[in-house]
Amino acid sequence: MATTDIIERAQQILGIRLNQPLLLEQSLVHRSFLNEHPDFHLGSNERLEYLGDAVVGLIISHHLYESFPQAPEGVLTAMRAAIVRAQTLGRVARSLGIGDLLYLSHGEIEAGGRVRRRLLAQAYEAIVGAIYLDQGLEATRAFVLRTLAPEIERLEQEQPPTDAKSYLQQLTQGQLGIRPTYHLLSTSGPGHRPHFVVEVRVGDQVLGVGEGPRKQEAEQAAAREALARWPSVFGGPPPSGRAP
């Protein structure tokens, strides 16, 4: 397929036209392709992916902040991770047909690169980066919220609890089949003004430590820290905190 055909088809399936179509083409260039075509007129999509990753995170963070005004930071963090993880973005990119447009090496194609979720997720982020550079934040926000609408709607329909402890329990039971446990580490201060320090464990792993004037508040603080750490420890929660 000729370059102009790829750009035109990409703009059609994405539902957006760029003023600088070469940016869109570059977002489709995987580095493996350049190993076989070192004289290609464009570089890889890695820099655009870097930018797009940050832009997607910002747009989804803003959307969740407005959609769930009572949700604490830890819950919002886990919800965002459910949407922006590679599995989700790759699924969306595949549904859009982005895999068929990618510039890949023969080896990458034979290895299933056109349907590999992580590779597709990276291409989606690169496309977002290209749109952002070409048309700015508002047009990019419209594209991201439109293309991720099914994932966002599924998350919103689940109505996740604003209670960090309840949400953490949903995550651990849904993905790991176990409940988190809370352990009192210390109690200090006078009787009329106690101070509690609590840790939360998932299995044998300590995920968070919280403090507060009441044991319940300390447990909630520990749960919020655990939710914030969840993506880095377990690779991202399933959508809306439940098993996929």
| pLDDT band per the 50, 70, 90 thresholds, residue 51 | very high
Q: For the domain bounded by 3-157, which CATH number is listed?
A: 1.10.1520.10
Q: Could you report the per-residue pLDDT of 76-122, keeping only the tens digit for each?
A: 887 888 889 888 899 999 999 999 999 999 999 999 999 999 999 99
* Cross-strand bridge partners of residue 200: 182, 208
User: Average pLDDT of 188-211?
Assistant: 92
Q: For the domain bounded by 164-241, which CATH number is listed?
A: 3.30.160.20
Give catalytic residue positions: 53, 125
pLDDT at 6: 86
Q: Is the pLDDT of residue 216 over 70?
A: yes
Q: Are 178 and 170 in contact (CB under 8 A)?
A: no
CA dist., res. 158 & res. 44, Å (int) = 38
Q: Could you report the per-residue pLDDT of 60-78, keeping only the tens digit for each?
A: 999 999 988 877 777 788 7
Q: Could you report the per-residue pLDDT of 126-139, keeping only the tens digit for each?
A: 999 999 999 999 99
How far CA 109 is from CA of 103, 106, 164, 181, in Å, comes to: 9, 5, 43, 46
Show me where the domains of the chain are located: 3-157, 164-241
